[in-house]
Amino acid sequence: MTPYVVSKGGIGQLTNVMAISLAPQGIRVNAIGPGTILTEMSRKTSMADPATREKVLSRTPLGRAGEPEEIASVAVFLATDDSSYITGQTIFPDGGRLGLNYTVPVV
């Protein structure tokens, strides 16, 4: 779990530093920090077990997992001129989970 958490923090810092470095060239750098998404992997792991699924969804204000298409929509938005004034940001399509400030214990 520790390498996973460290890599997420690293991506956030990399996004910020690259955005600042590349802004003079007109290049925008952003990241997407998805919550629980109904992928093939999650369907076989956290969403497969009813108790685990309930625990995950109880920490998600919208009360459901996201769909891959919802993440794709964020990526498309960030790639268009509609987001031309956004750089150095991580967008969190997570059903409101970030607002709960939930942290996972490092083991």
User: What amino acid positions are annotated as catalytic residues?
Assistant: 4
Six-digit token string for 22: 């590349």
Spatial separation of the C-alpha atoms in residues 9 and 88, rounded to whole Å: 14
Nearest by Cα to 29 from 94, 92, 70, 83: 83
